[in-house]
Amino acid sequence: MTPATPDHPRPHSPWHLFIAFTVLALQGFGGVLAVAQRELVDRRRWMTREEFVDAYSVAQLLPGPNVVNLSLMLGDRFFGWRGAFAAISGMLLAPLVLVIVLAASYNQLASFPAVAGALRGMGAVAAGLILAMALKMLGTLRRNALGPLLCALLGLTTLVAVTVFRAPLAWVVIGLGTAGWCLARWRIARREGARP
Amino acid sequence: MSSLPLADLFDLFLRFLMLSLLSIGGAMSTAPEMHRFLVAERGWLDDADFTTAIALAQAAPGPNVLFVPVLGFQVAGVVGAAAALVGILLPSTLLSLGVSRWGAQRRDTPAVRAFTAGLAPVSVGLVFATGWLLSLPFIAAPDHRLGALALIAATMAVTLKTRLAPIWMIVVGATVGGLGWV
């Protein structure tokens, strides 16, 4: 992967990772993934868009929350297990304290209509962030070994399977992921066979 | 929030340890099984507790997996929260660390390159699906539909065109929502 250059900076220490992941986790209302892509790729530039998609794809297929697996991989890449621990702790610690405090005071909060309205507004922003992130990820497929047609086919099948048929996620990822893997092996083998 | 006997707490921890390895695609995919265990089998929580835990975790900042410690908190307070969170994360985290190190050493082999290339379009499709599912309640509800869709579109435009930190967009969303505009 890309070495540290001025264009591709890296965190100074596990502590720096911990702070960065705390900051991004605390912005993640309704999901952290879109904020993670924004902070790690667009703003801090610790990963490229392609690296983010790769790491996310692997995180997706492994058991466990995707964003926790993603933090783990990024932290491990920079500082080994200390980095992994720092990134996961940053991702979880502050939000955990907040959500437990919320759970303990939930019954008093729920009676205010302004609170319900604010949650709705935050939900709409969360949806917009995710859709914008999807559009950015789309650009990374341009250099994919599968080629545009197979990429579109796999992506659209995934979208329809999840939104229209509500297929269980594990089936979608394992089924379509295996199909994608076989197709990509075939394309890479053919391309590299053409120029020995 | 009762104080649970130690044996029951350990049982909860073990259950969540096992569920961790089944949580492909995120902890939310194991929510039906947690519901079966906590509500139907043990009767430690009722349906409303369960739904509240998921709604709180989605409303609060941070990963959605935090609904799991909220469930643990509802069952057995802070100790329950810790048991549930460590249980659901420990096995999957250790496995992911191993697999990602294994894959990083073989990054340039055709099999691993095909793996990331083949999965990328599926991942992109899943993120579009998530965006769609999150937008659906705003499209389905007739109240303030236009305001909500405008807010979604504005968020997309700002995200694509600027480097503004997401927290400011969230603040705007909470403000216009609190005023009753979306």
How confident is the model over A140-179, as pLDDT tens digits?
A: 898 899 999 999 999 999 999 988 988 877 788 889 999 9
pLDDT band at residue A5 using 50, 70 and 90 as cut-offs: low
Could you tell me if residue B178 is inside a domain? Answer: no
* Residue A90 and residue A176 share a domain: no
Q: Does A92 touch chain B (CB under 8 A)?
A: yes
What's the rounded mean pLDDT across residues B12-28?
Answer: 86
* Residue A151 and residue A129 share a domain: no
Among A43, A100, A106, the residue with its CB nearest the CB of B52 is A106
Tokens of B74: 């509802």
Specify the amino acid at residue A53: V
pLDDT band at residue B134 using 50, 70 and 90 as cut-offs: confident
What is the rounded distance in angstroms from the CA atom of residue B48 to the CA atom of residue B50? Answer: 5
Could you tell me if residue B163 is inside a domain? Answer: no
Residue A6 has pLDDT above 60, yes or no: no
For chain A, positions 40-79, list CB contacts with chain B under 8 A: 42-43, 53-54, 56-69, 72-73, 76-77
What's the rounded mean pLDDT across residues A180-194?
Answer: 89
Residue B20 has pLDDT above 80, yes or no: yes
* Interchain CB contacts (distance < 8 Å): A and B: 377
Summary mean pLDDT of chain A = 88
* Residue A106 and residue A153 share a domain: no
For residue A97, give the H/E element and its range. Answer: helix A66-104
* Residue A55 and residue A121 share a domain: yes
* Residue A92 and residue A59 share a domain: yes
Cβ contact, residue pair A137, B124, below 8 Å? yes
Tokens of B85: 């969170």
DSSP structure string for A117-182: HHHHHHHHHHHHHHHHHHHHHHHHGGG-TT-HHHHHHHHHHHHHHHHTS---HHHHHHHHHHHHHH
Could you tell me if residue B26 is inside a domain? Answer: yes
- Residue A105 exposed, middle or buried by CB count within 10 Å (0-12, 13-18, 19+): exposed
Structure confidence at residue A1 (pLDDT): 45
Distance between B14 CA and the closest CA of chain A, angstroms: 16
Among B70, B116, B151, the residue with its CB nearest the CB of A124 is B151
Residue B2 has pLDDT above 60, yes or no: no
What is the rounded distance in angstroms from the CA atom of residue B135 to the CA atom of residue A104? Answer: 29
Among B20, B119, B159, the residue with its CB nearest the CB of A177 is B119
Q: Does B118 touch chain A (CB under 8 A)?
A: yes
Tokens of A130: 């995710």
Domain that holds residue A154: 144-196
Choice among A1-15, A46-60, A108-122, B78-92 with the minimum mean pLDDT: A1-15
What string of H, E and C letters represents the secondary structure of chain B? CCCCCHHHHHHHHHHHHHHHHHCECCHHHHHHHHHHHHHHHCCCCCHHHHHHHHHHHHHCECCHHHHHHHHHHHHHHHHHHHHHHHHHHHHHHHHHHHHHHHHHHCCCCHHHHHHHHHHHHHHHHHHHHHHHHHHHHHHHCCCCHHHHHHHHHHHHHHHHHCCCCHHHHHHHHHHHHHCCCC
Last-in-domain residue among A142, A158, A184: A142
Residue A31 has pLDDT above 80, yes or no: no
Tokens of A20: 């960065």
Chain A positions touching B50 (Cβ under 8 A) are: none
Greater confidence, A179 or B180? A179
Domain that holds residue B67: 1-105
Could you tell me if residue B19 is inside a domain? Answer: yes
* Residue A155 and residue A133 share a domain: no
Last-in-domain residue among A100, A118, A142: A142
Q: Which residues contact A41 (CB under 8 A, 6 or more apart)?
A: A47, A48, A49, A52
Do A27 and B170 contact (CB within 8 A), yes or no? yes
* Residue A109 and residue A23 share a domain: yes
Closest CA to B84 of B58, B50, B107: B50
Chain B positions touching A80 (Cβ under 8 A) are: none
Chain B positions touching A180 (Cβ under 8 A) are: 117-122
Last-in-domain residue among A142, A167, A187: A142
A103-124 residue pLDDT tens: 888 777 777 888 878 878 888 8
Chain A positions touching B120 (Cβ under 8 A) are: 53-54, 57, 140-141, 144, 151, 180
Do A151 and A184 contact (CB within 8 A), yes or no? no
pLDDT band at residue A2 using 50, 70 and 90 as cut-offs: very low
Chain B positions touching A130 (Cβ under 8 A) are: 127, 130-131, 134
Could you tell me if residue B160 is inside a domain? Answer: no
Largest Cα separation within chain A, whole Å, is 70
Residue A77 has pLDDT above 90, yes or no: yes
Q: Which residues contact A37 (CB under 8 A, 6 or more apart)?
A: A49, A52, A133, A136, A137
Structure confidence at residue A19 (pLDDT): 97
Number of domains in chain A: 2
Chain B positions touching A84 (Cβ under 8 A) are: 97
Instruction: Give Cα separations from B8 to A126, A157, B72, B86, B169 (angstroms).
Output: 37, 43, 12, 16, 43
Structure confidence at residue A26 (pLDDT): 94
Tokens of B111: 């099999």
Could you tell me if residue B3 is inside a domain? Answer: yes
* Residue A131 and residue A45 share a domain: yes
Strand partners, B146: none
* Residue A20 and residue A39 share a domain: yes
Q: Does A109 touch chain B (CB under 8 A)?
A: no
Number of domains in chain B: 1
What's the rounded mean pLDDT across residues B47-63?
Answer: 83
- Residue A39 exposed, middle or buried by CB count within 10 Å (0-12, 13-18, 19+): buried
* Residue A149 and residue A138 share a domain: no
Residue of chain B whose alpha carbon sits nearest to that of A157 = B125
Cβ contact, residue pair A31, B169, below 8 Å? no
* Residue A189 and residue A169 share a domain: yes
Do B50 and B115 contact (CB within 8 A), yes or no? no
What is the rounded distance in angstroms from the CA atom of residue B144 to the CA atom of residue A58? Answer: 39
What's the rounded mean pLDDT across residues A46-54?
Answer: 91
Closest CA to B75 of B16, B163, B17: B16
Structure confidence at residue B166 (pLDDT): 83
Could you tell me if residue B85 is inside a domain? Answer: yes
* Residue A121 and residue A55 share a domain: yes
Tokens of A21: 């992941």
Residue A61 has pLDDT above 70, yes or no: yes
Please give the span between the terminal C-alpha atoms of chain B, in angstroms, as a whole number.
35
Q: Which conformational region is residue B60 in: left (phi greater than 0), alpha (psi within -120 to 50 degrees), or beta?
A: beta
Could you tell me if residue B173 is inside a domain? Answer: no
